[in-house]
């Protein structure tokens, strides 16, 4: 893992140098589950901390930051690019499996120095951590893999804003719900914003709707995540 990280970091520091694919296990590629756009971590494979999982980690970043109205969703297809599914990414972004960042159109768009060309367009760049995660996923073979984050029991006692809710909202919601024109007028970029929608009931309602649930266009949050979110809201949505 350390070798992979070093490779990623050095590749990012010098983005036009080719780097070697780490040659990691190509077996756990899964199709999108039918009727479940974007897929859910429904398989029994426990998450390996050394692997990056498309359905659990990469697709949520793309959905949250790239697929809002007018952008790279299956309807608007800005520039012919669809980033709301694995199939869309693979068929509409050139060289997306290429571990040479100079060739890889996804990494080029994320790393471009020119704000007019860099993605997400008109917004802050993705964090270094998110870009590194995408880079590692490509180096590991750019597979359509997923894992089950909740092997064993679902622990809903003592759910923390800092350790659970904030990272969840940041990863799955803030791409659309932050900035000067947040989607639906809902700003979830601060604790105060999240608390408002937690306490008026709209947050939990939005993630549990039977159609058009949030994250918009993405997979439903899994049951354990929903239970933890509800436990935190029921506890008064504390800033803990
Ligand atoms: C791809 C963009 C996108 C993502 C990602 C996204 N949303 Fe939304 N959200 C929207 C849009 C567009 C609306 C307004 C239309 C609607 O309500 O469906 C909205 C509306 C909402 C509303 C208001 C619903 C109401 O009853 O008025 C809430 C609350 C919300 N989102 C929460 C979330 C949460 C929580 C997440 C993350 C788990 C999330 N959203 C992820 C685009 C997004």
* pLDDT, tens digit, 9 for 90 and up, residues 60-87: 999 999 998 889 999 999 999 999 999 9
Confidence grade of residue 10 (pLDDT, cut at 50, 70, 90) = very low
> What distance in angstroms lies between residue 54's CA and the mean position of ligand 1's atoms?
22
Confidence grade of residue 151 (pLDDT, cut at 50, 70, 90) = confident
Confidence grade of residue 173 (pLDDT, cut at 50, 70, 90) = very high
Section 16-24 average pLDDT: 32
Q: So what's the pLDDT on residue 39?
A: 38
Section 161-185 average pLDDT: 94
Q: Give CA separation, 53 vs 37, 64, 140, 191, in Å.
A: 16, 16, 10, 28
Which of 119, 113, 135, 107 is closest to 71 using CA atoms? Answer: 119
Confidence grade of residue 44 (pLDDT, cut at 50, 70, 90) = low
Write out residues with Cβ below 6 Å of ligand 1. Answer: 63-64, 67-68, 172-173, 175-177, 183-184, 186, 197, 202-203, 206-207, 212, 214-217
Long-range contacts (CB closer than 8 Å, 24 or more residues apart) made by 202-206: 203/229, 203/233, 204/229, 204/230, 204/233
The pair of structure tokens assigned to 129 is: 């951590």
Query: Measuring from atom 25 of ligand 1, which residue has the nearest CA?
Result: 202
Mutate which of 174, 210, 214 for ligand 1? The one with the most ligand atoms within 8 Å of its CB, which is 214
Q: What percent of the chain has pLDDT over 70?
A: 82
Q: Which of 21-35, 128-142, 149-163 has the highest mean pLDDT?
A: 128-142
Query: Measuring from atom 17 of ligand 1, which residue has the nearest CA?
Result: 184
Section 30-45 average pLDDT: 44
């Amino acid at each position: 893992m350390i070798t992979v990280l070093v490779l990623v970091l050095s590749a990012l520091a010098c983005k036009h140098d080719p780097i070697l694919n780490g040659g990691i296990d190509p077996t756990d590629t899964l199709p999108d589950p039918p009727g479940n756009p974007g897929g859910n971590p429904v398989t029994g494979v426990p998450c390996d901390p050394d692997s990056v999982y498309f359905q659990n980690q990469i697709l949520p970043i793309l959905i949250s930051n790239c697929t809002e109205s007018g952008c790279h969703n299956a309807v608007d297809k800005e520039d012919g690019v669809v980033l709301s599914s694995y199939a869309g990414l693979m068929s509409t972004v050139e060289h997306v499996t290429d571990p040479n960042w100079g060739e890889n159109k996804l990494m080029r768009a994320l790393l471009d120095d020119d704000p007019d060309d860099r993605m997400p367009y008109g917004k802050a760049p993705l964090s270094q951590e998110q870009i590194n995660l995408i880079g590692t996923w490509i180096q590991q073979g750019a597979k359509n893999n997923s894992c089950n984050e909740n092997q064993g029991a679902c622990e809903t006692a003592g759910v923390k804003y800092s350790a659970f809710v904030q990272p969840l909202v940041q990863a799955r919601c803030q791409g659309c719900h932050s900035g000067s024109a947040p989607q639906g007028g809902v700003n979830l970029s601060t604790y105060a914003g999240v608390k408002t929608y937690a306490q008026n009931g709209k947050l939990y309602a939005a993630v549990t709707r039977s159609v058009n649930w949030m994250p918009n266009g993405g997979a439903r949050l899994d049951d354990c995540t929903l239970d933890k979110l509800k436990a935190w809201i029921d506890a008064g949505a504390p800033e803990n």
